Amino acid sequence: MDIDALRDEIDKINRELLCLFEKRLQLCGDIAHEKAQRDMPVLNERREEEILSGIRRDSSPGLSEYNAELFSELMRISRRYQNDLLFSSGGDIRCGLIGKALSHSWSKPIHKALGTYSYELYSLYEDELERFVREKPFSGMNVTIPYKERVIPFCSELSETAAKTGSVNTLIKFADGAIKGFNTDYEGFMYMVKRSGIDFSGKKVLVLGSGGASKTVCAAARELGSREVTVISRSGENNYENISNHRDADIIVNATPVGMYPGDFVSPVSLDDFDAPEGVVDLVYNPLRTRLVLEAQQRGIRCTGGLPMLVSQAYASSRLFGADCSVDIDVLTREMLVSFGNIVLVGMPGSGKTTIGKELALRLGVPFYDTDRLIELAYSASVEDIFKTHGENEFRRAEKEIIAQVGARSACVIAVGGGAVLDRENYYPLAGNGRICFLECPLEELETQGRPLSRDMDTLKIMYEQRLPLYKEFSDFSVDNDDSVRAVCAKIRRAYLESIDN
């Protein structure tokens, strides 16, 4: 075959590729609009990594890296196309959030509550940032990790607070294209601290992290009268290796993304490393209660998660966007805590968790997840058969994995198996976004059919005595399942709201 014939073949393939790529972009556009409806960001790093791994695995010998490079570029172009579509579909006042990984973000529903302006999530890689900021005709844009410092060179002017902190989380673009950078995180942090009741005056404050958020925290802590502010970084003079030098810290502030969804439920430090901290502040808002916050609560230390800061800084940003907003921040913060939170039901096998959970979810208009049912679906077998075939240890391993996945969700009702409390680590993903209800039921009324560990009353009594302390330790409140399903659901809802307020 001569070179012209080969080129003809390539031209034919190019035409086929063009048709396929345009079809791909069409589908990406449909996905972009669907993601916007569901308040989801364009970028899904985990899915992109899975696609590239599959491409490398399925490639012919010697071509895997070439193919991976091609598909990486295809996905970059597709992301750009999706972002452009979302941007062009906005109203006259176009606002949103730019960052890298935004799957954790709850900014969109908060801004929906604050104004009538359009607000979308724009996931950008580093090489896309400058083009977006300089070229897009937006009115206002929030900025999050890791770009709070990187957008500063694109600003022709900084607000006093932005200049003082060296961190920008809000951009306002004027008609002539000039951009002014603001820092509403400062105002948000001040509100969060005031709401928590943590007193910074005269205290030694330990700030975890050295990024843009850390700079804001340091400036605010000094304004609040702290006697000493020390930043802990990975490689600086004060780092995690020598954090024992600061055992005397009075207040610990996490200004890192450690502990944020969708990462593992871990804490940047152990509170055992400190003598007697009086306050813990975590800027992470998803989950609502990080492991660090939960461990502080267990020790009776005054603490707060980051949602109040997110709401307050969003309110301040909305005013800069031009919204005439008269929302009460305290009321909106509570509404968001309630709406993003889960209700988790724990209790003895057969206590009615599934029946009550389904009805409660139906009444609240939120999804319902039963971890036992999810395990059954994964194994295509009943819980009883899983115990028989695979043993309890394998069941508990699968249960722990399912709980970690479901617990990371928000705005839902979750029912977990009676033995979930046997593993203390299950507590953290369940309590992160959830308030845990111990659903109590008289032993004689427990359903035992299909329950591999509770077939007779003697076994039930022993199991109840063993697990009762764990149910109480796990739960935020308890409710008796001693009335109609409707009445019990109402009791749970009331107790849930009270636990939020407390």
State the DSSP H helix or E strand holding residue 245, giving kind and residue range, or none if neither: none
Cβ neighbourhood burial of 419 (10 Å; 0-12, 13-18, 19+)? buried
Q: Which residue out of 108, 148, 203, 204 is catalytically annotated? A: 148
Per-residue DSSP letter, 129: H
Q: How many CA atoms lie within 13 A of 239 on its CB side?
A: 5
Query: Contact at 8 Å (CB) between 72 and 306?
Result: no
Q: How many CA atoms lie within 13 A of 329 on its CB side?
A: 20
Q: How many residues does the chain have?
A: 502
Strand 170-173 with 279-282, pairing: unpaired
Backbone angles phi, psi at 231, to 5 degrees: -95, 130
Q: How many CA atoms lie within 13 A of 77 on its CB side?
A: 11
Instruction: Please report where in the chains the tokens 């452009």 appear, as a residue.
Output: 84
497, 502, 433, 439: which is closest to 471 by C-alpha? 439
Beta-carbon contacts of 380 under 8 Å, excluding residues fewer than 6 positions away, are none
Assess whether 148 carries a catalytic annotation: yes
List the catalytic residues. Answer: 148
